[in-house]
Structure 1
């Protein structure tokens, strides 16, 4: 796992049928990291290294597994005690997954002593490279590269959807691009070992097998919420497909599909689909229009999206 990206505000209330997210996209309060001291040992095994980054709910350190002699990422959740119920859910969800398009989970535990005692942590695969959010800062990407990245993430989503899980926060900052993924001249290699885009951060994921009320959660990143997520409705796999559609659209155009305050964005996406750039090939316009349909049942499955993108 690479450096965590500062997350946009994720708390919300419901008013007039819309999810009103606290704060704005440009004036959100900065994340206040709570890093661990470097050099400490977690679980008598993992040496804490430098802080890589901080997200809305956790801090990520580089770490060293002293038993196996390998570099890892240490995701240290903020808060203690009962507030970690959601963190424990993420641990259980991620521990179930083994897929080349997902960040691998090696271990989990709880800080036992010191000022951070009681904080839970995950030991994750350390994925070198950049996030899609970082790569998009200069501008849009080439169409074939977007197709490859999108297919990799759609495949990972199809896997977690089949396992009964909705990610709920598909966005460029949660898409990791290891070395080799951005090499458009590279020859295709073994599908199991070739570099591929990776999907990270299941911090607000939910199981579709939970009680429906448990999937009515208003957190998410404003720029990538699905219409049903903006309305505070129970979520299902089509919500992830919608978010991936917005990510692909941004990757091709260099701009977000919806802008303005979080409330304006939420209102807009419940009223109309995102605009499609006229320069996009017809097959791309057709696929992205389907992925970002207002009605969830009209969207293709993640597996169908992967097949389309592999063909493109």
Structure 2
């Protein structure tokens, strides 16, 4: 089934070329289906790229999904136009009276900052607290996962000796957990970060369960009430995302190493191979099915779609 996004959204053209089933509000209203309402708090600087990456995965299940994008009111985004935010995004103050079936909080390239020094930390804390009784399940990605571990469970991050960048091998701790149902015993996932979290503190915490780990440390962590899912890497990344980041860091003059296990023969002129695509789709499919669709209450009056304004309303 399709994802429902505005007709004018740039991601729509990309997804349609990939044969992802995209639907607009007019057609969706003719179907007698209870769609899932998913809120995406997009903290990434290049928001349009992240939109495509996440919508591609959310649009590949049998479920009809309504998407609402959220940006921070207390932060000015430099890499996306004001027009784009006004057309396709909401702010927390405009959605906090609603309930959502699921929510995604993305990563953000601000790991060098203590959480309290992030200019939108107070707003993010309010959103994370609000999600406890307004969202059925929340998936946190990379820095978003670290923020959730810190805010909800008191587990901080620590700096790594060098950037963790590349494609790393992971294993599953418990194959019976629904989130990793269908995963291979060994699978690969991209990582791109300067910080990590303590495996020992996760294992010792009475409210957390470590689902998967690997060469890059803890990867998937879930609260035992299954409310929060923390993914420290980037299964949503495109094939060339790490290459683009590497080139960007080199142009900045950073002392950066080539992404590990990424370029064939460690040759930047060779095209990387995507070895994580199937598991990225599986992760999002399992999350939507088992932790959102199967768990969310069927109460239409509480699950109100927050429509993104069309251009002529501005």
TM-score higher than 0.5: no
Q: TM-score, normalised by structure 1?
A: 0.24
Give the structure with the larger strand fraction.
2
